[in-house]
Structure 1
Amino acid sequence: MKSENFKRFELKPFLIEALDAQGFTLPTEIQERLIPAIRNGRDVIGQSQTGTGKTLSFLLPILDRIDTTKDEVQAVITAPTRELATQLFNELKKLVEHCDEQDQIQAKLLVGGTDRARTIDRLKVQPHIVVGTAGRLADLVEEKALHVYTAKMLVVDEADQMLDMGFIDDVDKVASRMAEDLQMMVFSATIPEKLQPFLKKYMTDPRHVQVDPKRVAATKIEHRIVPLRHREKLSFIVELAQSINPYLAIVFTNTKDEADEVADAMLEAGLNVERLHGGLQPRQRKQVMKQVNDVKVQYLVATDLAARGIDVKGVSHIINYGLPQDLDFYIHRVGRTARAGADGIALTIYDQQDQQAIEKLQKRGIRFTYFDYKKGEWTKLDRAPLGVPGKRKPTRTTTEANPTPAKSSTDPQKRTGGKAKAKPKRVKPAHKKKARFKQAKEAQRQRRVSSKNKK
């Protein structure tokens, strides 16, 4: 089946050809709702998680509106990290390579970690579209090497992350130099209150499309909770990683230090692992992503900020070294598996302080199953581990928190047909002392009475 469903958007033929080549047949919800609005020049806010097809929702209508007869910048696309900017640029290239030779759309990737002088030299001929990180774009605009005053379209991808990482001021510097009738397209998993002043400054009556997070989480993901109990966490994550033998697993940590600790431990165990976090040099991060995309890595240990938005194919497992503080990141993490109809497993090491977070995720529609891993074997638990929300049977089992074993067949309740014999009340030591004192006094009285009778 060809991309007949995309044709009703009246996109240019080369875009339909590019979609056919990539096997896209049906628009996603966010594409259905935003492509017409963007083609009509309207400001839009796309609020969605990873894996909803948001990238094509803005690339297709932007490319459709590029006028190749004008050698000037017409669209600017910003991203918070080099990796995400590179990924967007690669998706853009897949589309523009289907342009006619005489009608080529020129695009350039502008990110930090590259030769600045060479970049400025390349901009002597201005491209139609630029994709880049906010800091590098702002720098090139300040140097007057990049002429954005002709551009009428601006995309701010992962806007909440831009805000968290302190890049929204750089985006503001770029946007303020662009055309007065600027069309802004903002895409973000969340719309924080602190982002509102920026949006109000540049947007007029935006079309706000929100994709329900409950529908975003792939239905073919199995969400497993594995209790840490008394085990040493670093050793345990290595055991779990060894047990699954994934095609590709991403192990998520909450900090760069944790990522290094986990990656080092897995390397020491002989696993094929790489790491990805903000502490690496740009060249190192680029090499890691190349190895991952070339299927030369089996385990990738990453932080949320480094990996957010990156689309890596073939992820069979997600392992959470711990739950993220912002639970939206859980959706981002697990959204990297179970792509294109495939199955996926998300493993989360759980401790008792995570109870509230688990409850919140359950209210969002995440269904967890409970497993334990001991002595090289996976065991599915018929109930939630201690401290985890979920249905629990009224039986008692041996746990680290409660070492009392389950009741046996010699249990008094079973021997008496369901009624347990009343146990004698425990007498406190002070009561025993008083009882002995009373007994001694009574014995003394009895001896006195006996002595009088003899007389």
Structure 2
Amino acid sequence: MSFSELGLRAELLRAVEEQGYTIPTPIQRQAIPAVLGGGDLLASAQTGTGKTAGFTLPLLQRLADGPRPKARQIRALVLTPTRELAAQVGESVADYGRHLKLRSHVIFGGVGQQPQVDAIRPGLDVLIATPGRLLDLHQQRHVDLSRVETLVLDEADRMLDMGFIHDIRKVLRLLPEKRQNLLFSATFSAEIQTLANKLLEAPTMIEVARRNTTAETIDQAIYRVDRDKKRDLLAHLITKHRWYQVLVFTRTKHGANRLAEQLSKQDIPAMAIHGNKSQSARTKALAAFKSGDLQVLVATDIAARGLDISELPHVVNFELPNVAEDYVHRIGRTGRAGSLGQAVSLVCVDEHGLLGGIEKLIKKSLEKRIEPGFEPDPAAKPEPIENGRRQRSDRRGATQQRQAKGPGNEADQRPRRRRSRTQRRA
């Protein structure tokens, strides 16, 4: 099947061809006709499946056939959990809509709001936003949501994980009752089902990939190593194998900063991105990484959500995630579109319980390797995981964790009633 068989207009097909795409992905084949039909949609798709184009293309087509918005009015609203994902969706809307006379803009916190206010003032066909900044501008009467025709919740599972459910409910109360709703999530969790039941009306359901699976195009391996030798092992592997464009995950913002600094001192160009970095710094680091000028990008889970880097060859878990599902999301950034990718995890004795949880989740035993010169000490004992995350395993190998009250930890957490200022204004 080609894109031309999905009922898209010539302007959109031209834009798709200019982007180099010829065959739609499974999510696009199912989502595009469903969205064009005007009904609600509940779609589960892992990272890298092409879901953004799956809703962007039909959304633009529906908007192109309608009336232009009036001052401060929004016709289609796309809510995302992070700045990076908002920017990515904004780029897709601009790229696919380049031959249509539609206006779009992206708004998020961490930058001055006046340019955003100026862009919204004449009205927009598509507004891509993070919840905090959207509510701020609405409260100041800079944006009118009473004429929204279509609402898209992108990566809804992450929005719930980050505690945005209260902001989402506030936004929903500002929208017209009659509208099209599109909900995209990596998983169909109980929380997502609850949200979908309240938000969607007789939705089309799409699930293009089995939950919590990893792509066969990804070579996954575990390197056993002592905790204090991880940095040297990472530098050794990067140098030995001449890895470029390496996305490295840490649990915390502090850990990301420290690792990037240490790698740079070893003549491996590296930068860190996380919630405490300014938007300009994050944009600069990502642009350098995409262009190949930056060899290593060190990121936390929240900061990396939404990163769209084609044919990313290497993902490294410097530390395993505390939530097993995040392992799938992390490594899903490589091995896309049939390309081969490599996912390496550096695992010390503290993380054996986390590794067991990941292997149970993906129903697969990962290959264990030991690099000569970095053999782990067989007598090493588990210690509390850095920056407040403690771990202990019972006889069944289960892992119990508790979150310390100290600041500075950006590990994935369950929704809580109170969120940080950064999250409220994301």
Task: Tell me the TM-score normalised to structure 1 length.
Answer: 0.76
- Quick one: which amino acid aligns to residue 313 of structure 1? S
Aligned pairs for 1:168-187 within 5 A: 168-187=165-184
Report the structure number with the largest CA radius of gyration: 1
Q: CA deviation at 1:271?
A: 1.1
For the residue of structure 2 that corresponds to 1:309, the secondary structure is coil
- Quick one: which amino acid aligns to residue 208 of structure 1? M
Q: Do residues 38 (structure 1) and 16 (structure 2) align?
A: no
- Conserved 8 A contact 2:84-2:305: no
Q: Which residue of 1 aligns with 2:388?
A: none
2: distance between equivalents of 1:324 and 1:230?
A: 15
- Quick one: which amino acid aligns to residue 283 of structure 2? K
Among 211, 217, 223, which residue is 2:214 paired with?
A: 217
- Quick one: which amino acid aligns to residue 230 of structure 2? K
1: distance between equivalents of 2:311 and 2:21?
A: 18
Q: CA deviation at 1:247?
A: 2.3
Return 5+ residue gaps in structure 1 as ranges.
377-384, 387-398, 403-455
**Once the two structures are aligned, what percentage of the paired residues are identical?**
31
Q: Which residue of 2 aligns with 1:14?
A: 11
Q: Which residue of 1 aligns with 2:371?
A: 373
Q: Which residue of 2 aligns with 1:283?
A: 280
Q: Deviations over 1:145-171 (max 9, x none)?
A: 111211120111111211122223222
Count of residues paired in the alignment? 375
For the residue of structure 2 that corresponds to 1:109, the secondary structure is strand
Q: CA deviation at 1:112?
A: 1.6
- Bigger mean CA deviation after superposition, 332-341 or 297-306: 332-341
Q: Deviations over 1:125-146 (max 9, x none)?
A: 0011111111111222222211
Q: CA deviation at 1:250?
A: 0.6
For the residue of structure 2 that corresponds to 1:172, the secondary structure is helix
For the residue of structure 2 that corresponds to 1:311, the secondary structure is coil
- Bigger mean CA deviation after superposition, 273-282 or 227-236: 227-236
Q: Which residue of 2 aligns with 1:344?
A: 341
2: distance between equivalents of 1:215 and 1:323?
A: 16
Q: Which residue of 2 aligns with 1:203?
A: 200
- Quick one: which amino acid aligns to residue 196 of structure 2? L
Q: CA deviation at 1:357?
A: 4.1
For the residue of structure 1 that corresponds to 2:221, the secondary structure is strand
For the residue of structure 1 that corresponds to 2:285, the secondary structure is helix
2: distance between equivalents of 1:259 and 1:213?
A: 31
Task: Tell me the TM-score normalised to structure 2 length.
Answer: 0.81
Among 160, 163, 186, which residue is 2:160 paired with?
A: 163
2: distance between equivalents of 1:97 and 1:216?
A: 35
- Bigger mean CA deviation after superposition, 155-164 or 285-294: 285-294
2: distance between equivalents of 1:351 and 1:197?
A: 38
Q: Deviations over 1:371-408 (max 9, x none)?
A: 221249xxxxxxxx99xxxxxxxxxxxx7349xxxxxx
- Conserved 8 A contact 2:86-2:128: yes
- Conserved 8 A contact 1:247-1:315: no
Q: CA deviation at 1:368?
A: 2.6
2: distance between equivalents of 1:70 and 1:243?
A: 57
2: distance between equivalents of 1:355 and 1:205?
A: 44
Q: CA deviation at 1:297?
A: 0.5
Q: Do residues 71 (structure 1) and 72 (structure 2) align?
A: no
Q: Which residue of 2 aligns with 1:81?
A: 82
2: distance between equivalents of 1:270 and 1:34?
A: 46
Q: Which residue of 2 aligns with 1:400?
A: 378
- Conserved 8 A contact 1:249-1:318: yes
Q: CA deviation at 1:87?
A: 0.7
Q: Do residues 252 (structure 1) and 249 (structure 2) align?
A: yes
Q: Which residue of 1 aligns with 2:292?
A: 295
Q: CA deviation at 1:230?
A: 7.4
Q: Deviations over 1:68-101 (max 9, x none)?
A: 54224211011111111001101111111123xx
For the residue of structure 2 that corresponds to 1:374, the secondary structure is coil
For the residue of structure 2 that corresponds to 1:91, the secondary structure is helix
For the structure 1 residues 323 and 89, does the alpha-carbon distance in structure 2 shift closer, same or farther, using more than 3 Å as the test? same
Q: Deviations over 1:280-328 (max 9, x none)?
A: 1222112212222222100000011110221113422111112212222
- Quick one: which amino acid aligns to residue 252 of structure 1? F
- Conserved 8 A contact 1:223-1:366: no
2: distance between equivalents of 1:312 and 1:231?
A: 30
- Quick one: which amino acid aligns to residue 201 of structure 1? K
1: distance between equivalents of 2:325 and 2:210?
A: 9
Q: Deviations over 1:251-271 (max 9, x none)?
A: 111111221221121122121
1: distance between equivalents of 2:277 and 2:175?
A: 33
For the residue of structure 2 that corresponds to 1:319, the secondary structure is strand
Q: Which residue of 1 aligns with 2:392?
A: none
2: distance between equivalents of 1:307 and 1:259?
A: 12
Q: Which residue of 1 aligns with 2:319?
A: 322
For the residue of structure 2 that corresponds to 1:275, the secondary structure is strand
